[in-house]
């Protein structure tokens, strides 16, 4: 009987009741994401938000310069390229070949468009330089050729807007692909944003450049009235000021030449406007030079990003 009592009183340890609680706590901790966001992703998202703010400001009175927009776009593309170099990114996209192939098509279109844009800016810069020589020599015929050339270039740049607009705004990550981690999900959203912003920012740049011959400026823009500060003028205003001023100057010369006894006042007015135009053309040439250089940097960043995407596809 004593032996039986010992066997009955033996199984009373509290440890079995403690183990389920400990196990439940362990399950909750295991449910946390096993792959967290890489620090480069928040950095890229911050740059995307800054570029989006620049894009929104383009429609407001305090719009930023086109060159600044291109510089911000280059920074975003460089950061995306850095993200594409990460093993986490390569693992995430290695099993999404359809997504990578679509991105390669879009970035090939971007590369082609910026190649044409750079060539157009180089041609426009040469035309502005030749127009300055013609203006110094008062060669009306060559100045007239400059007006025709800039309109042709504006038309060519305008065609690029259609090419950029053909890039769809749908997310690059297919809805049928279920994210296996937070990193996959966040990566898909940020790539979509970069893709869309590259298209929309480029469109804003091309619209501004293609519309530089839109309206004719006032006489005050050429030193005959209140002088506007250079830092308050965007590239679009520089284009419009110079092109419209050349047309006004040619019209003034034509009217003065019709008059047999042109007064000194009219001649002085013509000369003052010519000197103002020369200064404006020099400023315009500098602006075009900055635009061409920054577009080349974007062009190279697009190529580098596309190479990174191609490496992911080939090693998939």
pLDDT value at position 316? 65
Q: Which of 132-141, 151-160, 268-277, 300-309 has the lowest mean pLDDT?
A: 268-277
Q: Do residues 267 and 93 touch, judged by C-beta distance below 8 A? A: no
How many other CB atoms are there within 10 angstroms of residue 202's CB atom?
26
pLDDT reading at 252 higher than 50: yes
Does residue 19 form part of some domain? no
Does residue 254 form part of some domain? yes
Does residue 27 form part of some domain? no
Average of pLDDT values for 281-288? Answer: 86
Query: How far is the C-alpha of 235 from the C-alpha of 13, rounded, in Å?
Result: 83
Express each pLDDT in 6-39 by its tens digit: 444 445 555 554 444 444 444 444 444 444 567 8
Q: Do residues 236 and 284 touch, judged by C-beta distance below 8 A? A: no
Express each pLDDT in 233-245 by its tens digit: 456 666 677 777 7
Confidence at 294, pLDDT banded by 50, 70, 90: very high
End-to-end CA gap in the chain: 74
- Top pLDDT among 295 and 65 is at 295
Q: Do residues 152 and 291 touch, judged by C-beta distance below 8 A? A: no
Does residue 32 form part of some domain? no
The 3-state DSSP class for residue 234 equals coil
pLDDT reading at 85 higher than 70: yes
The CATH number that applies at residue 309 is 1.20.120
Q: How many domains does the chain have?
A: 1
Distances (CA, A) of 244 to 12, 156, 247: 99, 20, 5
Express each pLDDT in 41-50 by its tens digit: 989 999 999 9
Query: How far is the C-alpha of 128 from the C-alpha of 143, rounded, in Å?
Result: 10
Express each pLDDT in 178-234 by its tens digit: 444 578 888 889 999 999 999 999 998 888 888 654 433 333 333 333 333 333 345
Q: Do residues 83 and 47 touch, judged by C-beta distance below 8 A? A: no
Does residue 95 form part of some domain? yes
Q: Determine the structural domain holding residue 259 and report its residue range.
A: 39-50+65-314
- Look up residue 13 and give its DSSP letter: -
pLDDT reading at 60 higher than 60: no
Show the beta-strand stretches assigned E in the chain. Answer: none
CA 290-291-296 angle, to 5 degrees, is 100
Q: Which tokens sit at 4?
A: 């039986």
Express each pLDDT in 270-284 by its tens digit: 788 888 888 888 888
Q: Determine what percent of the chain is predicted with pLDDT higher than 70.
A: 69
How many other CB atoms are there within 10 angstroms of residue 252's CB atom?
16
Q: Could you tell me the pTM of the whole model?
A: 0.74
Sign of the C-alpha dihedral computed for residues 207, 209, 210 and 213 taken in this order: positive
pLDDT value at position 36? 57
Question: Mean pLDDT over all residues of the chain?
Answer: 76
Average of pLDDT values for 283-299? Answer: 91
Distances (CA, A) of 285 to 10, 34, 262, 290, 302: 97, 55, 33, 9, 25
């Amino acid at each position: 009987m004593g032996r039986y009592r010992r066997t009955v009183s033996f199984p009373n340890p509290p440890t079995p009741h403690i183990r389920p609680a400990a196990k439940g706590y362990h399950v909750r901790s295991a449910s946390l994401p096993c792959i967290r966001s890489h620090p480069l992703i928040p950095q890229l998202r911050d740059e995307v938000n800054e570029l989006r703010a620049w894009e929104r400001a383009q429609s407001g009175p305090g719009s930023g310069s086109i060159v600044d927009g291109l510089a911000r776009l280059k920074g975003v593309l460089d950061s995306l390229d850095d993200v594409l170099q990460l093993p986490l990114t390569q693992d995430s996209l290695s099993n999404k070949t359809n997504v990578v192939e679509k991105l390669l098509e879009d970035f090939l279109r971007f590369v082609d468009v910026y190649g044409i844009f750079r060539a157009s800016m180089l041609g426009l810069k040469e035309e502005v330089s030749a127009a300055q020589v013609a203006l110094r020599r008062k060669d009306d015929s060559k100045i007239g050729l400059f007006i025709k050339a800039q309109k042709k270039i504006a038309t060519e740049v305008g065609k690029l807007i259609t090419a950029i607009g053909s890039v769809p705004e749908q997310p690059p990550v297919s809805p049928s692909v279920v994210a296996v981690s937070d990193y996959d999900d966040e990566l898909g959203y940020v790539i979509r944003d970069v893709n869309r912003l590259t298209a929309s920012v480029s469109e804003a740049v091309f619209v501004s450049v293609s519309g530089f011959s839109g309206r004719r400026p006032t006489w005050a823009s050429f030193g005959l009235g209140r002088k506007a500060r250079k830092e308050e003028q965007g590239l679009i205003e520089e284009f419009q000021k110079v092109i419209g001023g050349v047309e006004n100057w040619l019209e003034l010369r034509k009217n003065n030449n019709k008059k047999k006894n042109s007064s000194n006042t009219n001649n002085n007015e013509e000369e003052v406007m010519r000197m103002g135009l020369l200064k404006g053309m020099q400023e315009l040439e500098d602006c075009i030079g900055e635009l061409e250089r920054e577009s080349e940097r974007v062009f190279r960043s697009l190529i580098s990003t596309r190479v990174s995407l191609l490496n992911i596809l080939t090693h998939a």
